[in-house]
Structure 1
């Protein structure tokens, strides 16, 4: 991990550790006051993911001196009935994200190099892709789904933990299964859902502007990232699939 990354994100990581550690302590202390184990897990999941989906997006901008708000772009968006806060940052490269679920603070963060590397039509296509995530309520949807999935995992884990196994083999197997459940619940399923939401965000941008601009923006991003879009990953379809989706 690069030293610069640690310096830029040290405060955020420290606050996350304090917040999540405090929450775990409080919930474990007052566990007995919950009449139902499932209600306890739901409350815990809501609070934990509330940090990542509500508090952290605010801290990400408020505490960072490297995010510069672009009022010109925001004013242009307002003329198109899109009221979103747009920030440019050098804390990431060749990327853009939509974050926040609070109605008055849904923000878009874009790496500075995209502003200088993309033409106006391509940059607008990327911005509207992120607006699409907001307009389609993708972030709120992911918040709710993560709460549901994590609650299910916690309940399943509690069943395994309470079960009395007859041999060390099955006890060891339960540890393996709990780890597999954690990976499935907290990594694989959420990321695969994001995978399909990317298609929707691409289509939203193409419907507002035009598909050619969105396709050109994706191709330019692929060049800037040295082929990362061509390869794709667990939460992003590859470039060929995204272009096919837009053309259809």
Structure 2
């Protein structure tokens, strides 16, 4: 294959992905005004339903503009040999290949962040603000962005630097070492993310003694689920949307409740939501997802090792001398179809796990409380009650609400 063929293949894949996503978004858009499924008509009153429709349509229009902007930007960047320009800038700072790669990716990262800031700002302070979700301040927005960038630069730089060291010393066998590194980091992040990184952005406090904590501990004890770490996070400082999540293993496992969740749901509904999360743990979903993720990364790295040194990849991006960072960029474009397939399979597995966790919550607690909690959370977030089946297939990690309620109703 020639570099010219690879270049047009990359362009073709970018355009294909854009049209695929545009078609899926449009199909989903056509369902916005569809008749509500049975059992969902009582979630919204007429005014609230109109509000949810407007919210979905505004997000759709915003997404179309953002996607079109990104498409034009990357095609223009490729047309003017943008990667060659960035590579030349990086090479002007150092002769060391590792330093050049770090500077190269640093420039791309900063450029991407800067170009994405107006979209993020508009979404937060226009769309989310308009529909009553945003509670963040402008100062907090910029503070979050600054912290996120520093954290990404530090962690990304350390991990990328180690990968480059592996590549320089062992060549194409670097993928083994990188796989071990990524697997280790994944496990450590799962174990200690809530303890080490969440405090950089949010305040976490132990759930105070009282009726809610007593009900949670009673349920956990009945399930032989050793749970001492129950925390409340101040999610309301940024958004009125509610959430809860489970993290960690062994003595580090913890349940984190958003303060908005405690405000929106009653105690029985909160325990039902936590029963769902305990179901994920008891069914080994967390371990399975971690293993699947690690295996997927390993496969990706192995495929990368076969092509990253190919001169034709660098030449396709307008760079004469092959290098790890140019090969990685070209590979990321070419790997898109496989990434799309693995994403679909991962979502199918995730939706199956959600049904299982719902069933666990119903069997071990009270299904009617989980039903009412799901309805309240859906209403609060103005969620789409009529997603297109194709959009669900490609993008949903959770089943649509109508399917979850039907499963809870039918599963005895």
| 1:146 counterpart SS class | helix
| 2:308 counterpart SS class | helix
User: What are the within-5 Å matches in structure 2 for residues 39-118 of structure 1?
Assistant: 39-50=176-187, 52-63=189-200, 65-72=202-209, 73-80=212-219, 81=221, 82-84=225-227, 85-91=229-235, 93-100=241-248, 102-118=249-265
Q: Could you tell me how far 1:22 is from its partner in structure 2?
A: 0.7
Indicate yes or no: 2:156 matched with 1:20: yes
Equivalent-residue separation in structure 1 for 2:149 and 2:331 (angstroms): 31
| 1:227/1:26 CA distance change after superposition, 3 Å | closer
Equivalent-residue separation in structure 2 for 1:6 and 1:51 (angstroms): 28
Post-superposition Cα deviations, 1:50-78, rounded to whole Å, max 9, x if no partner, equal 35423322224444552222143445433
Equivalent-residue separation in structure 1 for 2:407 and 2:143 (angstroms): 39
Equivalent-residue separation in structure 2 for 1:189 and 1:5 (angstroms): 35
| 1:58 counterpart SS class | helix
What's the TM-score once normalised by structure 1's chain length?
A: 0.81
Unmatched 5+ residue regions in structure 2? Answer: 1-119, 125-137, 317-326
Computing the radius of gyration over CA atoms, which structure comes out larger, 1 or 2?
A: 2
User: What are the within-5 Å matches in structure 2 for residues 201-220 of structure 1?
Assistant: 201-220=357-376
What's the TM-score once normalised by structure 2's chain length?
A: 0.51
Indicate yes or no: 2:282 matched with 1:126: no
| 2:397 counterpart SS class | coil
Contact 2:207 2:230 in 1 (8 A): yes
Indicate yes or no: 2:406 matched with 1:244: yes
RCO (CA 8 Å, sep 6+): is it higher in 1 or 2?
2
